[in-house]
Amino acid sequence: MRTPFVAGNWKMNKTVEEARLLVFEMARELREIKGVEKVLCPPFTALLAVAALLEGTDIGLGAQNMHWEEKGAFTGETSPLMVAEFCRYVILGHSERRAYFGETDETVNKKVGATRTCGLIPILCVGETLAENEAGRTTEVVSRQVREGLKGLEAGFTSGIVIAYEPVWAIGTGRASSGENANAVVQDVIRKTLTEMYREEVSQAVRVLYGGSVTASDAAEFFSQPDIDGALVGGASLRVDEFVAITRATMK
Ligand code: PEP
């Protein structure tokens, strides 16, 4: 049995004071929802403040990115060890980072690999663009991102990670995939690739989320799918009622 998982990706939103206010209101309600792994991913500047508010709760903290090197001359970057001081999770390979900051399968692979030594759990994002989708390349693109993102990593490690299937055309557009379509990609592409790379038990152990314009009104449609274990939520994670309702909807 895979424990349901919901993570909120705040992206580049919220000052420290705004973050405190949001968590103060949200945490009260999220704490009441049991049997779901709940994770908030604020921007780096708010991690310390949010960590303090989440202490003693069952709500986890995640970062939105990190570098793969332990330390050194990498101005503006944050190392795995620095992230692990506050967080248990880290989002890696988000499509916005691939599109705007030059992240490639190779750099994403280095980052995922770097989580092994510091105990962070990566949330590896994969997903095809609209052009790739329309060209019928979803299987090729998503399976390549999974293969390359996990290249060289052993089965024992991979079974504990989280993968988010986020079709790029659905992110921030208000145009979510259908539950059935997302489940088909998760089952026929992501889990199948994991089985080919490792074995069936690993594929069945990995939690796979859907992400892309999830709202309270369509969350249940995704969570009722057999191969989808939760959601990576962007815009709706900034609204208390929406995020709480989405988290509740994971209880299949
Ligand atoms: C995301 O950024 O990971 C995401 C899924 O965003 P949104 O929910 O806003 O589409």
List pLDDT tens digits, range 80-101: 999 999 999 999 999 999 999 9
For residue 81, how far is its CA from the centre of ligand 1 (angstroms)?
26
Q: Which residue has a Cα nearest atom 1 of ligand 1? A: 234
| Cα(152) to centroid(ligand 1), Å | 28
Q: How confident is the model at residue 252 (pLDDT cuts 50, 70, 90)?
A: low
**Structure tokens given for 244:** 């709480």
Report whether pLDDT(245) > 90: yes
Q: What is the pTM of this model?
A: 0.97
Listed residue (8, 1, 6, 54) closest to 33, CA to CA: 6
Catalytic residue among 96, 128, 166, 242: 166
State which of 11, 39, 175 you would mutate to test the pocket of ligand 1, scoring each by most atoms of that ligand within 8 A of its C-beta. 11
pLDDT digits (tens, 9 = 90+) for 193-235: 999 999 999 999 999 999 999 999 999 999 999 999 999 999 9
- DSSP line for 181-208: HHHHHIIIIIIHHHHHHS-HHHHHHSEE
Does residue 174 contact residue 216 with C-beta atoms inside 8 Å? no
CATH number at residue 144: 3.20.20.70
The parent domain of residue 43 ranges over: 5-249
Query: For residue 236, which atom of ligand 1 is closest to its CA?
Result: 8
* Cα 56 from chain centre: 23
Using 50, 70 and 90 to split pLDDT, how confident is the model at 1? confident
Q: Ligand 1 centroid vs 73 CA: distance in angstroms?
A: 32
pLDDT single digits (tens) 134-166 = 999 999 999 999 999 999 999 999 999 999 999
Q: Mean of the per-residue pLDDT values for the chain?
A: 97
For residue 25, what pLDDT is reported? Answer: 96
- The number of distinct structural domains making up the chain is 1
Residue nearest to atom 6 of ligand 1 (CA): 234
Residue 37 reports pLDDT greater than 70: yes
The 10 Å Cβ neighbour count of residue 41 is 27
Which residues form ligand 1's pocket by a CB distance below 6 Å? 9, 166, 171-172, 211-214, 232-236
Mutating to test ligand 1, I would choose from 5, 9, 124, 222 the residue with most ligand atoms within 8 A of its C-beta, which is 9
- Is 166 known to be catalytic? yes
Residue 47 pLDDT more than 80? yes
Query: Which of 166, 168, 218, 247 for a ligand 1 pocket mutation test, highest count of atoms within 8 Å of Cβ?
Result: 166
- What's at 248, amino acid-wise? R
pLDDT at 15 over 70: yes
Element (H, E) at 248: helix 240-249
Query: Cα(248)–Cα(146) distance, rounded to whole angstroms?
Result: 29
94 is catalytic: yes
What confidence tier does 62 reach under pLDDT thresholds 50, 70, 90?
Answer: very high
